[in-house]
Each structure stands twice: as structure tokens, then as C-alpha cells.
Structure 1
Amino acid sequence: MRVFLFILSLLMIGGTASANCSGQDLRPTLEDQERQHLQNAVDETPYAEGNHWVATRDAETIHLIGSIHIDHPSLLNHVDRLAPVIETASVAFFEMTLNDRREMEKEFRDNPDLLIMSDVTLPEVMDEPTWTMLANAAQKRGYPPFMTAKFRPWYLTMMLAMPPCMSLERALAGGLDNRLQDVAYSAGRTVRALEDYHTVMDFFNNAPFDQQMDMLLAAIFDPILTEDMYATMFKQYFEEKHAEAWELSRLLTKRSAAQDPERIDAAFRNMEDFLLDSRNQRWVQTIADAAQGSTPDAPVAVIAGAAHLSGEQGLLALLAERGFQLERRPF
């Protein structure tokens, strides 16, 4: 689910929503078997925790900061603590620069076919009960059924990741990456993107229709549960438990979605491979190249979604393979 939130945060396109979200932490509701599965997965994951790490190789210094792309009042304290890192960085990398983001938004406005299907509608390819569930969930987020029927499945997947209680524009106005990018620009630092902004957009638009449908079906469940999943996600983020957050999102989706669990696993594997692992493998070379000539007083700063840090193919493990020493720092 967190990968869906990431894409949604890039697009900043959506209907209206209202009120503030509440929601409850779902971890206490886990059964013993689920709790043990979650703990085993975390124990097997390298660098499972920590939102701020420093990688050093001789004088080369890289600060890696795990971000969240959705705004939260508690982020202000973290921005204050991390600002000195950004203000002294020789270069600050983000998943997308603000200029790239504006270009991407313009592409979606100028080319509606990126979001709208012209050859088929969703009611034609879904059974009636599933379509009714989807239409109701979308309507609670401000989309009437006639619009929902024509949206590409991957876009609806992104939209359903946002609970109806949340105002999209307000939520995306100040995620940690946006706030730290503002710090970098104000300090006159060099700001660069880790990749071309078309990379992720092309992945979803070019994904086979059946894979898009699998992602969509995995995202259809009670909107109240979406609010609880959001609350859980924020708690895990501020506890710096990004590996637990990823695995729990998979577990809760399998428990609640209108989709076969094996197909949910397959959808998660596809997204994990492309949205995390393959991108990390490309990014790490860019980061290591930029680190040449960096120093503790003029480090490279990398601000990316926290899910990119952990795992055997996470940025931390990939840098360790290249001879960097890793140290967790206060977040």
C-alpha cells in the first residue's frame, strides 16, 4: 500500500475529501500467528529500522534520510533536526525535484489518455459486486461512478490508497521530502533527482492490463480500514520501522482485500522488484559517484522513501557492498 501512496503523492491529482483522519493502530489487532510472521520477516531483513543513516568510505560521506511523502504535523521537528545536514550538503538528491513534479503534473493535464481508458470501461471487465464495491469506495473520495468507470486501473489503485477523510492537496503539500527540498533551495544547495520522472509513470502506464487489475483488486476494501492503515503507517514511520511497515501492509492487504492472496503476493512482488529493488540498484551508482570528493563537512544527502533503505537490495545494504561503513544517526 505504501508504494501506492508514493505514486499518488507524485501526481497530486484527485477529488475532494474532508475532515481530519483519526484511525487506530492495527498492530494490536494481529493474531499470534500474524504477529510471529511479521516479526520473522523483520528479523530476516537487513537494516530493518532507522530513518537516518550515515555511510562513510574514507572521507566520502553520505547521509541517507528515509522520507514519507505525506504531510504530518510531527514532521516539523524532524525538519528542524535534519536541516543542518541539508544546508551543508554538496548535493541533495530527491526522488523527484519540484521542477520535475510540475512538469509531470502538466503532462497529466495535457494528456488525459494517460489516466483515461478509451476502449473499455471497468464495469465491462469486473463482476457486478466488485464493481459496486469499487464505485462506492471511489464515490466516498469524490469520484462519481461515470468517472471511475473510465479511469485506468493503476490510477484508481493510487486513489484508493488515500482514505476519504484526508484532503489530498493538504496532505501532499509538505511531506518530509518536500520540506527538506525547500531547505535545500533556501540554502542554495545543488538539488538533483535520483532518476528521470518518467521512470515510474511509464512503469504503470505500460504495465499489462491484468497486472493493473490485480493491483486494483488488492486495493478495494472498507474505507474505514484505509484510515486505520494510514494511522498505523504514520506510527511505524515515526518509530522508524520501515521494514515492518512494508510487510504489515502486505499482510493487512491479504487479510482484507477483495482479491486472492496468491495474486496479492504476486502484485507485491512485481511492485517490490520495480519500485524498490531495481530503482535502488540504479540509484546506488549515482549516489556513489556523487560521493567522490564529499567530506563530513560537505556530504551528499539522499532523501528517499523510507522503504528504500531496508532489505538485501535496499540502499544501505548496496552501499555496504561497495565498502561503505554504516552508522545509524538520530532522526
Structure 2
Amino acid sequence: MRHVLKAAALALLSLSAPAVADACKGRNLFDTMPADRKARIENAVRDVPFREGLLFQAEKGDHRITLVGTYHFGDARHAPMVDRLRPFITDAAALYVEAGPREESRLTEALKSDPSLMVDPDGPTLPERLTPEEWQQLSTAMADRGSPAVITSRLRPWYVSMMLGISPCMLDAMQSTGGKTGGLDHLLVHQAQKAETPIRALEPWDTIFDLYADLTPAQELDMIRAALPSAAYADDYAVTLTDAYFSGNVWQIWEFGRFDAYDNSGLPKSEVDEQMSLAQQRLMDDRNRKWIKVLIDGADKARANGRGIVAAFGALHLPGQAGVLNLLQDQGYAIRRLDG
């Protein structure tokens, strides 16, 4: 159980992107994707506000926020962005991240001290809730990720669905580095610590548990079913999405997942859309709306000292009607892309 708890603490840091590392070898699925699916994805992203870009500045009078969309796992390609942001962080009144060192420590301790956060000790097991074929597929995929069937059978569905999005080789790599993901978030936190720039959290440490608290049993199982098809080729999936991230095609990441689920999940299109809508609302839109107040308040406090703030969070929080950039624009902020 200790191994699973450690893996859980690592996995909970991956809310916004699957994992990839130099040790994980895969292929970019866009290279072999049928032309009609590429066209459908391109059409789906065409009208999404701020669909491209990773680095932006939001200004309203003398209120200034520098925003960067992050990828939560290590990659050598992070280095130029760290260099670009170093002076911004040094000059900032604070660096705002989804979870700072204090929040990550509290989350890890909570997972260690209360296994019921991830394990359901009383309800029906997953093999009782899934079809035999689904359970066989799931238990195999989770065994590849270090979770024996006897433990997987009692894991909460939200956690299982998250684990399925992470490559087994990435979990191995994180274990070998003491659980350090090396993601852009952590690299920027390190820069803030060196510069003695205060680090602030955008949300409480236990937010993850509230996101899934009121899902119906059917919604819980559909989360697993939607995640299962890509689990078998997690390295390819991770490389595909990571390449899209570093090219700045942020919303393409989201729509790739939608169309992959259409073709491979076995769920009706309407159920895939329902899952995607629910995930977008819970994981992004609702959180974005809460973050706006935190960011605006932070920028207002920084303004008093003639300074701005830096905000670094998962890249999928940037675009969309309810994305952070559009919400700031609705509040009168002028948005300027810095990496285009």
C-alpha cells in the first residue's frame, strides 16, 4: 500500500497533462492520423479563444499579470521558458501556482494518513461494477502501473482514471528520482525560491477531492471507460500531447482526447461529449473562475509596490470561453501574447 500511496501523491500532480520523459519512447499520433480526423480536430479548435500560446501578459492600468501555461512533468524543452521567465519571477511580488510546496506537502501527508481518500473500503469493488472484459483490461493496465489487481479493485474511480493517463515508464522514472516530476511548475517554484519571491497557491491543497465528490456511480465508471483505450498506448499518447504543448497548440490537446475517445472508447458520441463537458467544467472552468479573484487581488496588492505577479498553471487553463485569459479580458485586462 505504501507504494500505491506514493504513486498516488505523484499522480495527483498531473491534473493537466499526461506524463512523458526522455526514458519514455513513443510516436506522435498526428503523424499517422487519418486526414479526416485531423480536419475535424482543426475545425473544433478554430474558434476557441486563445487556443494557441503558452506565455501571455495581462494588463489593466498599472495592474500586471504574466501568465504561463505549464506542463507538469519533466522535459528538456522547458529550459528556454525557465530562462525567459527568470527575470519576471525575480521582479514579481509573488509567483502564483496551483499548489506550492506547502500544499503539496499537506496533500502527500493526507494521502499517507488516510487511505480512504483513494480507496473505497466498503462499497462494491470495481470488478463487481465493470464487465469482465473491462475489468480484465483495467487490471492489466493498472498492474503495468504498479498496482496489483487486489488493490486496484478497491481504488476510487477518479484516481484510477488519472493513473491510466500516465505512462508506466514515467512512473518508474519518477520513482527513480525520488518522486520529483521536474515539471515547469516545479522549475519555476525553484526559481522563485532562489530569488526569494513569495510563492502563493491558487487554490486549497484538498481541491482535488472536491472535484469528484458528487459524481454519480455511472459517471464514475464512464471516467474509467473513457480513459481505458489510451492506456495501452500511453507512451504514444503522451508524446503526441507533449509535442502539441511545446508547439503551443494548447486546445488541440483537448480536442485530440475527444476525437480519440469517439473512435476508441466504445462509448456513444453523446456520452463522450458528456464526459468531456463534465471534465472541462470540473477540472478547468469552475477552477478558473475561482482563480480570477485570487489573481486580480494579487495584482492589486503588487501594484501598490509598483510590481506585477507571475502565474503558472496547467496550459489547458489558458484557452476557451471560460479560460483564464478570456475571463481576465472580460474584467477589462488587455491580453498580449509573448511567445508568438
Q: Deviations over 1:146-198 (max 9, x none)?
A: 11111111111111111122224447521100110111122111111111122
Q: Aligned partners of 2:257, 2:125: CA distance in 1, in Å?
A: 29
Equivalent in the alignment of 1:194? 202
Equivalent in the alignment of 1:227? 235
Correspondences of 1:136-285 after superposition (within 5 Å) = 136-166=140-170, 167=172, 168-169=174-175, 170=177, 172-221=180-229, 223-285=231-293
Equivalent in the alignment of 1:133? 137
Equivalent in the alignment of 2:5? none
Cα displacement (A) at 1:74: 1.6
Structure 1 residue ranges without an equivalent (≥5):
none
Relative distance call for 1:11 and 1:175 in structure 2 (3 A) is: closer
Q: Tell me, yes or no, if the aligned pair for 2:21 and 2:74 is still in contact at 8 Å.
A: no
Q: Tell me, yes or no, if the aligned pair for 1:89 and 1:189 is still in contact at 8 Å.
A: yes
Q: Tell me, yes or no, if the aligned pair for 1:18 and 1:164 is still in contact at 8 Å.
A: no
Q: Tell me, yes or no, if the aligned pair for 1:153 and 1:212 is still in contact at 8 Å.
A: yes
Q: Tell me, yes or no, if the aligned pair for 1:7 and 1:158 is still in contact at 8 Å.
A: no
Equivalent in the alignment of 1:51? 54
Q: Aligned partners of 1:85, 1:323: CA distance in 2, in Å?
A: 22
Out of 112, 120, 126, the position equivalent to 1:122 is 126
Relative distance call for 1:226 and 1:185 in structure 2 (3 A) is: same
Is residue 328 of structure 2 the alignment partner of residue 325 of structure 1? no
Cα displacement (A) at 1:260: 3.4
TM-score, normalised to structure 1, is 0.91
Aligned length: 323
TM-score, normalised to structure 2, is 0.88
CA RMSD between the two structures? 2.4
Is residue 76 of structure 2 the alignment partner of residue 73 of structure 1? yes
Q: Tell me, yes or no, if the aligned pair for 2:94 and 2:200 is still in contact at 8 Å.
A: yes
Structure 2 residue ranges without an equivalent (≥5):
1-7
Equivalent in the alignment of 1:299? 308
Relative distance call for 1:198 and 1:147 in structure 2 (3 A) is: same
Q: Tell me, yes or no, if the aligned pair for 2:58 and 2:65 is still in contact at 8 Å.
A: yes
Corresponding residue SS for 2:68: strand
Cα displacement (A) at 1:75: 1.2
Q: Tell me, yes or no, if the aligned pair for 1:308 and 1:314 is still in contact at 8 Å.
A: yes
Relative distance call for 1:11 and 1:110 in structure 2 (3 A) is: farther
Corresponding residue SS for 2:224: helix
Q: Tell me, yes or no, if the aligned pair for 1:94 and 1:193 is still in contact at 8 Å.
A: yes
Relative distance call for 1:122 and 1:75 in structure 2 (3 A) is: same
Q: Tell me, yes or no, if the aligned pair for 2:95 and 2:198 is still in contact at 8 Å.
A: yes
Q: Deviations over 1:129-150 (max 9, x none)?
A: 1111111111112222111111
AA aligned to 2:36 is Q
Q: Aligned partners of 2:114, 2:279: CA distance in 1, in Å?
A: 25
Q: Tell me, yes or no, if the aligned pair for 1:65 and 1:304 is still in contact at 8 Å.
A: yes
Cα displacement (A) at 1:209: 2.5
Q: Which runs of 4+ in 1 moved over 3 A?
A: 168-172, 258-261, 293-297
